[in-house]
Structure 1
């Protein structure tokens, strides 16, 4: 089965662990009204707010109702955020391809397909409409928890279960570990009641306990293990003290990062946050420069200039090599050391000069060797229109931006725009490099800040990548 990458945005604040936010962003859900006598009420409400559990109606959860196999699978899919986003099928999958007792047009069909493709351990003869026992659901949950939480193998302290003789032998290990993890508790008389049907409330409580355990017991990554995008974002934000910063990455968050992708992400984050002072970069000769993505060139040259990364003895950067945690940590540490000795004096919210604007454009677009001819005072403050015009003109003159047909939009303050800049601004709007204000104005004469200019430059990079000739 082939896999493809999906473009997605990963927030640094949520990158600590994928289960910290176990669902999408939901509007406040109405409270269940049938949980007053349920001990796990608060846990169930927490899962409802996260979008993991839902009721038979918006107000009712039916806590004492038995959990079916299909409902159990859906709960696991929701809890571990499993999906098919990165999978490309040769033919459209059907639930019956994996479970013969399933129905392809049922409400649970997609959940069964998703679980099967993501290798959730389920019985081959699964009957979606059959009710789940406590031991069956606990076993499925623990196996999924250990797989997707990347938990290390443990030797659990064997607990005396009074009705252990009733537990299916193949489930006994999972149940012992479930007790050790705190996912389940024995009854007051020391029993598991393995063959009893599991209720919706009990299943939800087990899910909540599993997630809480995973939050507190993240598997330590080996220093020599290749870093994923999620781990890269976490490393960058925590090391640089930017835990509340949103980092936009257009790669699969579980993919392995390369030396160039990590270096580019690090330098772009520094630049966007305003932590990195403007420096005059003298490009060095990189022997394998032809292997570097042109859009990453500027970031890598800057990283070399500040001593964050070094070339090897052959003068190569090895851009496509996977980066280990140890190497990534060393690079970020080098950046921290540089920042300590090169404090940024310019306010990220202050207007940038023409010199800073040129440097920002050339480095963001990977054009460090490009000469940009501007007929303005290099120390003058740039406006929104002058920066946008310079950016678009640079894209076009460098060959990165082909001629495109632009349908002009109505700009409410168009009379304030220099006629020589109007074409560039219309082009930038068409490519979504810049946006108009809610009232339809552009504010062309307003000074542009480093933050705004960086956002526009990054939008330009995304726009260039999205053009048909760059796919």
Structure 2
């Protein structure tokens, strides 16, 4: 199954809202068909508290079973999953993740949300398939374990009188479901794994699962007010950047994430992926600007100008303060809202190789001279080595680079770099305009993407800005 970067969000109380498409409200008193259910009070309580949405009395009729599509919809709504903090360079379709899904179907959005939030569902699932008790329970247990980040447990094995009927792959999930209190055996000690699960049974299982989640969720689950970790910071920013967040966000996993470091990383990532416009900033007055690292000041001014962050009542940014998960989600949410409202040109092409014309325009911007005459074959392929050479050559010819005593960097694939380009690439590495990959390769023959080229140009601008101070 194709996976994109994901952001998982849960409401503070882990919402129990359930819904099925195209169905109307009904009074709990109308659920006469559930009177024989031992746990009918759970269903009525969920309805009375507004936690069951869009259902009719017929929902719980004994012969109403659950389809795979309805199951996914239940999971998504019950856990409050959404895409509020996720952006896509290209709008996803349900069929991107589940090959049998129809993109125009009522369940399509729920399928997309399930996939992005990492629900472990088979890519070849059949939306119209009726689910058995074992299949539904297996999917539910995996869902709450993933979303709730539940610790791995060694379940106390419960004897099932009909164990021989349970699919081997589902055995562990069902045992954990019994330990979690999600399901119970009947009075004869049977689970009835092959029986199609009714909607009432599904609702009760979900109610039990959410009650367990609220009582046993991982420490960070309710940690919106706790300090943001480096890993959480990277995931939030990748979600905001969208598909181009395949960019490697480098951050020390042990680093303390402050307001300034998080803001810089967010803005820098969006800039290097070509998703923020070039701004003529009128710097905001920040009362504690002297406490902000020089490297981070531009990003923070950009974030203020775009409305991602605000100063406090005293006009301070409090750069060294630790940032909470709540604050980080708020900043990312504002960034995503801005990006959705202001898509940049070439939005669909930031991960594709740039054209000759694009490379020329970017290098002119880096040189700070739009009137430069840069000669380049319009039919040429723009590779990492050719773009880097052209960038460095243009800057050197214009006297915009410092004189360097180069200590050559070891490049694992140096033998693949054209001799003409080697000096320029060593210069670009020394000035940190470019980086080698994790294996020490430059990948000179690869096409250079808009994201990569924009990142190089932004680094040039940072260097020029620093040298002019």
Q: TM-score range by the shorter chain?
A: 0.3 to 0.5
**Higher fraction of helix:** 2
Q: TM-score, normalised by structure 2?
A: 0.47
